[in-house]
A = this chain, B = another copy of it.
Amino acid sequence: MRNLTSLLAALLAITTVPASSDEGMWTFDAFPRDLLRRTHGVEITPQWLDRVRNSTVRLAGCTASFVSANGLILTNQHCAEGCLAQNSTRNKSLLKDGFFASSREKEVRCGTQVADVLVAVEDVTAQVNSATQSMDTSAANEARKKALTQIEQACEQATRAESQGGPLTCEAVDLYNGGQYFLYKYKRYTDVRLVFAPESAIASFGGDPDNFQFPRWWLDVAFMRAYGPDGKPASTPRYLKIDFAGPTVNELVFVSGHPAATNRLLTVSQLQTKRDIDLPQWLLRSSELRGRYIQFSKSGPEAERIVQGPLTNLENGIKFYRKELDALHDEAALQRKSAEEARLRTLVAADPKLASEVGDPWAEIEKTQQVLRTIAVPFGYLEAGAGFNSQLFRYARFIVRGVAERSKPNLQRLREFRDTALAHLEQQLGAAVPVYPELEQITLSLSLDRMREWLGPDHPVVRQILGKDSPDALAKRLIEGSKLADAALRIRLWNGNAQALEDSGDPMLQLVTLIEPESRALRKRYEDQVEAPLQKASKNLARARFAVLGTSVYPDATFTLRLNFGTVQGWVENGAAVQPFTTLQRAFERATGQEPFQIPDSWLKAKARLNPQTQFNLSTNNDILSGNSGSPLIDAKGNIVGIMFDGNIHSISGDFWFDEEKNRAIAVDPTIILEALKKVYAAGPLLKELGSS
């Protein structure tokens, strides 16, 4: 049996460990320094790793890095979109016009933004596992969540006592879908301000048509600054220096950042659920919303201004998920996945002890997917938000649930309302951000309309909600009647009790309260019948993988810090080589004067002074994903030689597998940043802080 196992393991190794030597989103504590030495002949020291980790910043959904000793943060313009929109009005769009604070006093607060730096990591797998031992499936799932909450709570209490700079933010992290648990400890900056962002017309030149394409010409760059609790710029002596010369072809480069969430370890039945249920449902709803946004944007310049941000985000999502769907329609790729699965099953079956321990996780996971398919529509519409796409509704549900949950002991709550999460949630709830009723009307009426279509007009909850109203009329009544656009009111309600919510008479709060029993019941059903057995089976699957393959396979991305390496390179498309660098000149050539190919006036005015040969964007074979947006591209010396902002069209399948030949990451070259700051934006103080002039 032993021989067979080894033979099969060898066979398996060919396909399941990274196909490319450069593939892999490694945690810092398991970074394969030996592999790097073997494949690239380069030695990375623990000091190098420490410095990079300490300079890498996590933003909401993005990555960034410290680039000066005074808390200056470099990230993408599209990662600052929320901040730009929050500081815009109907009449003035920072997204469109860009922003530059010529002095620190003029830096504007990003109301909902925090910036996190990972300072320590602790393995808590044993603690979590012991808390759930010999329990039935759904009890184990609940106990697991409690254990995670408890571990986080204890961590914050301990660091509050130890630390002088305030407690650390502690987050429990699940790697390998329940195979390992870690406690991640972050230093959090809650005061983040905007320093610089270019006009969207150059930050995303070519807009949606060019998105996920390469060659590209996007100055997708923004600067922010972290401030301490004392209102002074944070002290960040271990920053990364930008090397404005940029990288060279074939240079070894690293990306440090937070890839959002990959699905490379999912089973085939889970991928099929994505292909058949999740992606089509989301894409069809979103395509309709895109149509409504676009038609709305044509009603006038104000409409165009206020819808720009949401539309850009939506189109980005549509392109991404549309290409994911295409990836999952690649039968050959799915068959490779099936074959890998079959091989792993054979290996497990060949080891009776292991087999009896882990059971048949593939079959168990498939069962959960069958259940998921039967509840996907009501769960999606009533609990997961598809039926109530509205910022006011989200505020309302958050307040109603938060008030109910916070009256319980910490360990009894829905996990999103655990004590350690509250400070950040309250910051988001209390931030004064504009809510545009016209956009609310579009998103809410559309989602109510689709809910009625998919649940049916005679569904009890639909009848209860709509009564004799049309979706349009109900949306209007809710949006006109609700006062939740007022941040101060939201915080008052959040700090009040259930009676105060009722007394407010706010129709959006009433709607949430009305559907709360049904939506909570759906959530419970989802947790017990899908999540709990899935947790159990996934954990057994991880165990089987560890037993056969060890941890030579990196864990799926989970928006936690990862490091990967690669080189600056293009690829071959339809037999033709795609070069890894673009230069400024071609951007001017492609400009049509019409959106989205309209070069901003500031650039047209500066054109004569600009060097047309300046390198603009570049491609590498680093293995990254959406949360890596804003990540520093780092050379072996530890200097920044690019800012990641996207991938090519083939990178989208990277959610499921890494296509060594065509998956490419895209970065802004520092040379265009220097050229722009100097000659277009005359951003002297900023350049000086960056050590250039």
Interface on A for B, CB 8 Å cutoff? Answer: 206, 208-210, 213, 272, 275-277, 280, 283-285, 287-296, 298-299, 319, 322, 325, 329, 331, 442, 446, 452-453, 456-458, 466-470, 472-473, 590, 592-595, 597
Contact = CB atoms under 8 A, between A and B. Distances in A.
Given A210-B457, A470-B592, 13 more contacts: A275-B329, A277-B329, A280-B325, A284-B284, A288-B290, A291-B292, A291-B293, A292-B294, A295-B295, A298-B472, A319-B453, A468-B593, A473-B594
B287 A213 contact: no
A592 B468 contact: yes
A465 to B, nearest CB: 13
A276 B446 CA distance: 26
Consensus secondary structure, chain A interface: helix
Contacts of A446: 291, 294
Contact of A595 (B213, B275, B289, B470): B470
A276 B328 CA distance: 9
Contacts of A322: 284
A209 B595 contact: no
Given A208-B453, A209-B452, A295 B442 contact: yes
Contacts of A594: 468-470, 473
Given A209-B452, A457-B209, A291 B280 contact: no
The 4 closest A-B pairs by CB, nearest first: A291-B291, A295-B295, A276-B329, A287-B287
Nearest to A277: B329
A331 B276 CA distance: 10
Nearest to A455: B209
A291 B280 CA distance: 16
A207 B592 CA distance: 43
A456 to B, nearest CB: 7
Contacts of A288: 287-288, 290-291, 294
Contacts of A456: 209, 213
Nearest to A597: B457
Nearest to A591: B468
A290 B292 CA distance: 8
Nearest to A473: B594
A209 B292 CA distance: 19
A603 to B, nearest CB: 17
Contacts of A280: 280, 283, 325
A449 to B, nearest CB: 8
9 contacts: A213-B456, A284-B287, A287-B291, A288-B294, A292-B295, A319-B453, A457-B590, A468-B594, A470-B594
Nearest to A466: B592
A590 B593 CA distance: 53
Contacts of A289: 291
Contacts of A275: 329
Contacts of A593: 468
A675 to B, nearest CB: 24
Nearest to A272: B331
A171 B294 CA distance: 44
Contacts of A290: 288, 291
Contacts of A213: 456
A525 to B, nearest CB: 16
A296 B210 CA distance: 27
Contacts of A287: 283-285, 287-288, 291
A291 B295 contact: yes
Contacts of A285: 287
A329 B296 CA distance: 34
A207 B453 CA distance: 10
Contacts of A457: 206, 209-210, 590, 597
A473 to B, nearest CB: 6
A457 to B, nearest CB: 5
A137 B201 CA distance: 52
Contact of A299 (B284, B299, B590): B299
Contacts of A206: 457
Contacts of A467: 592
Nearest to A453: B209
A93 to B, nearest CB: 19
Nearest to A330: B276
A442 to B, nearest CB: 7
Contacts of A277: 329
Nearest to A273: B329
A289 B294 CA distance: 10
Contacts of A298: 472
Contacts of A452: 209
Contacts of A294: 288, 291-292, 446
Nearest to A595: B470
A26 B292 CA distance: 44
A442 B590 CA distance: 26
A422 B151 CA distance: 79
Contacts of A283: 280, 284, 287
Contacts of A208: 453
Nearest to A592: B468
A329 B292 CA distance: 28
Contacts of A293: 291
Contacts of A299: 299
A41 to B, nearest CB: 38
